[in-house]
Structure 1
Amino acid sequence: MQFVWGAAGRKSGGEESHHAGDLGHLDEKAAADALRFHRSFAAYEPTPLRALDHLAQEWGVGGIFVKDESYRFGLNAFKVLGAAYAIGCCLSQRLGIPIDEASFELLRSAEAKQKLGTITFVTATDGNHGRAVAWAAQQLGQKAVIYMPKGAAQERVEAIQQTGAEVIVTDGNYDEAVRLSSRMAEQHGWQVVQDTAWEGYTEIPRWIMQGYTVMAAEAIAQLQEKTGRTRPTHVFLQAGVGSMAAAVLGYLVNRFADDPPLAVIVEPAAADCMYRSALSPDGSPYAVSGDLHTIMAGLSCGEPNPFAWEILREHAAAFVRCPDYVAAQGMRLLAAPLGGDPRVVSGESGAVGIGVLAELIRDGRQAELRERLQLGADSVILCFSTEGDTDAGQYREIVWDGKHARPSQDR
């Protein structure tokens, strides 16, 4: 496991940072608008915030909290927060009404359908985002076409197909699937709903990020209710293209501007575009190419969302790249909790944050990062389990059979 400091980490060492990422669209009002829209869905409920008190005591920290997104809208992952809100914003814009006046009932009404006609939403996905787009399109009476990279788990393909969407598994990696979906949208007049941005495509990625802030707003409200604490001191955020991590961190920096939590951004070593971007001398985003093979399918992304990177570059404390066994360890820790701690069923991309925390606490080789981050008795740590067992077969192989165990030389 390797790390590099972000601007927030360097500030504590006396170094100056440079550019400020744009946080204006990730404030409390944006989160409130997104939350109001999601509440208009009958299936909406806040996902649980799990307190791992026994684990915190074992590791000598003040508290460990895990936001369990496996309960989100029955879809086993958080992605629908961004997809549904972005599609809602898109439909509202076409109807000429502000999103704060829109609702599920209005957007699905016969009057809206008559004005809108049938719209096909298209995206590329490793699984969770595509299922979210497909589900949201179905719920709102529209269509979806989903492109997936080679090697996509059959269970994830079938879960998307069950929403009525068309699914195409490509011969390329995730980033190539993104480009293909964009070309198909141009050819067929479809609407792209992708959680990364490029030249000429910026509005929908911002809406998606605003949707993700609901997860952070819920977590802070639950933390305050459970403990009376105002905020976490540390937050561990996994990054693929970086949209979720930047959305949550942007919201927290806006909410706690005078003393934001220290954020650790974690990635698989095989798809470490944020880590490599943090090493860039001029602060520009760095794209990683190739197969990007990792068990963390939802994080197997080689090209950063440029909006997200600006926020993470300026406001993250550290960037960590880790081998797959770290995520597997996190899955097993959450599946077999200490004492009376609640069990969390967390998939490969969901558990990597707690896996990295375990390495920082337990591995003496990580002492420098642990001490610089001031992880200790007063630390209140927030992690986001962004998915459940979305690939149930692989989940069992890892949790039951010990697949992807720590290599003997690293023990």
Structure 2
Amino acid sequence: MIGESTHPQEFHRTIPGYRVTDLIDLPGLAVEVGAASVRVKDESDRFGLPAFKALGASWAVNRVISAHLGLPPAATFSELSDRAAGLELVLVTASDGNHGRALAHIAARLGLRSRIHVPAGLPASTLEAIRGEGAELVETGLIYDRSVEDAAASCGDGELLVQDTAWDGYEDVPGWIVDGYSTLFAEVDEQLGGPASLILVPSGVGSLLQAAVVHQGRHGPEARVIAVEPVTAACITASMRAGRPVSVDTSQPTSMAGLNCGTVSSLAWPVLQSGLDDSVTVTDAEAAAAQDELHDLGVAVGPCGAASLAGLRAALTASGGPGALGLDESAHIVLLSTESAAANAGVYALSAPAHRDRAECPGPTTGRTAGSS
């Protein structure tokens, strides 16, 4: 985890095209909910990609390649490029879109190859976006969980797995991805001039959520975090209620494709259990209504990004208002918009495909899953 001489944000600032993403003020919504401000952290353009994922992928690639060479993290992207020059490496992952595209993008910038294993049911536009970054695409025909196993089992000599969820024996790389996301929350502090009172995080396996909880926890109990999940893939909500990791069935389609995750990351779970303030679930219809509302306000978000606004409304309704959430008229609320409207364009029509028979192999155990947030 973070603690090296080079901090992720310092490294990110050296990547060509880095800029602090917008924090968009929505004063009308602040008046409606009785807060000092409500703002959207707009991750629709990170290094030219339509989602936040490149923050985690770039830092993890730095750590993975540097570790492969027996070196500490590179201080700059130029230094990392020098290290990668001449290496015959393939970066491998499973993804339903944004993480895989980000990894392929970073690999291409470094002159490396990439291979992305994707589950069944993704729209053609998502597949073409990943191919457009120069990646070899493996369409597994499997559900997401099995696609992660497929990617992990496929890695041979000179192939490095850069997966964004953890399982027993595979936690360093997902931890580095979480560290990479810390840049997003450091930017929020800089833009607000202090910590947000509440951040709502669209959540899949919990990696971005873990980064939020760790960051807000440094500011004390007044800096709160709420997870937002689809009702059809609420593994974090189910786990928090049970007091232990609980897997849920994710075979039912959701427009929030990047959040369609069945099991919380083993690395994230202890952090969430001890530090997450609350979690809420939203329907596809609620996410669509929030997406329309944000579009009307000039914020172009996808269903996953709009989930944070839908989650705010759901949390306020369930709790009985801002006061019940520990908020008052001085509160500053941040909604994470994790992707643009174009990030996963198309209909996510996942039916439950037949599992492909193959020999047992090293990798995530049954029930582990990977995801986008």
Contact 2:84 2:111 in 1 (8 A): no
Write the distance in 2 (CA, Å) between the matches of 1:183 and 1:151: 21
Displacement after TM superposition at 1:81 (Å): 0.4
| Alignment partner of 1:221 is 2:190 | yes
1:11-410 alignment runs, 5 A limit: 25=1, 33-99=7-73, 101-109=74-82, 112-114=84-86, 117-185=87-155, 187=156, 190-224=159-193, 230-254=194-218, 256-257=219-220, 259-280=221-242, 283-337=243-297, 343-361=298-316, 363=317, 366-368=318-320, 370-389=322-341, 390-393=343-346
Displacement after TM superposition at 1:368 (Å): 3.8
CA RMSD of superposed structures (Å):
2.0
Q: Deviations over 1:339-387 (max 9, x none)?
A: xxxx2111111110111113344x4xx2447542134422211111010
Contact 2:123 2:346 in 1 (8 A): no
What letter corresponds to residue 295 of structure 2 in structure 1? A
Gaps of 5+ in 2: 349-373
Displacement after TM superposition at 1:170 (Å): 2.2
Write the distance in 2 (CA, Å) between the matches of 1:138 and 1:296: 28
Q: Which moved more, 1:29-38 or 1:148-157?
A: 29-38
TM-score w.r.t. the length of structure 2 is: 0.88
What letter corresponds to residue 131 of structure 2 in structure 1? Q
Write the distance in 2 (CA, Å) between the matches of 1:344 and 1:181: 35
Write the distance in 2 (CA, Å) between the matches of 1:242 and 1:203: 15
Q: Identity of counterpart residues, as a percentage?
A: 35
In the alignment, what sits opposite 1:10? none
What letter corresponds to residue 178 of structure 1 in structure 2? V
Query: How many residues were matched structurally?
Result: 347
Write the distance in 2 (CA, Å) between the matches of 1:30 and 1:54: 42
Instruction: Give the 3-state SS of the residue equivalent to 1:74 in structure 2.
Output: coil
Write the distance in 2 (CA, Å) between the matches of 1:148 and 1:133: 13
TM-score w.r.t. the length of structure 1 is: 0.80
In the alignment, what sits opposite 1:5? none
Write the distance in 1 (CA, Å) between the matches of 2:250 and 2:166: 20
Contact 2:197 2:327 in 1 (8 A): no
Displacement after TM superposition at 1:94 (Å): 2.4
Displacement after TM superposition at 1:237 (Å): 1.1
Displacement after TM superposition at 1:195 (Å): 1.0
Contact 1:138 1:163 in 2 (8 A): yes
Write the distance in 2 (CA, Å) between the matches of 1:315 and 1:104: 33
Contact 1:30 1:210 in 2 (8 A): no
Displacement after TM superposition at 1:35 (Å): 0.9
* Runs of 4+ more than 4 Å apart: 29-32
Write the distance in 1 (CA, Å) between the matches of 2:192 and 2:75: 29
User: Which structure's CA Rg is the greater one?
Assistant: 1
Displacement after TM superposition at 1:166 (Å): 0.8
Write the distance in 1 (CA, Å) between the matches of 2:268 and 2:296: 34
Structure with the bigger percentage of helix: 1
What letter corresponds to residue 47 of structure 1 in structure 2? T
Instruction: Give the 3-state SS of the residue equivalent to 1:72 in structure 2.
Output: coil
Write the distance in 1 (CA, Å) between the matches of 2:328 and 2:315: 11
Write the distance in 2 (CA, Å) between the matches of 1:106 and 1:136: 14
Displacement after TM superposition at 1:306 (Å): 1.2
Instruction: Give the 3-state SS of the residue equivalent to 2:117 in structure 1.
Output: strand
Contact 1:264 1:319 in 2 (8 A): yes
Q: Deviations over 1:78-133 (max 9, x none)?
A: 0010011100111122233321x432222222x6524xx21111111110000011
Displacement after TM superposition at 1:265 (Å): 0.9
Instruction: Give the 3-state SS of the residue equivalent to 1:66 in structure 2.
Output: strand
What letter corresponds to residue 214 of structure 1 in structure 2? T
In the alignment, what sits opposite 1:8? none
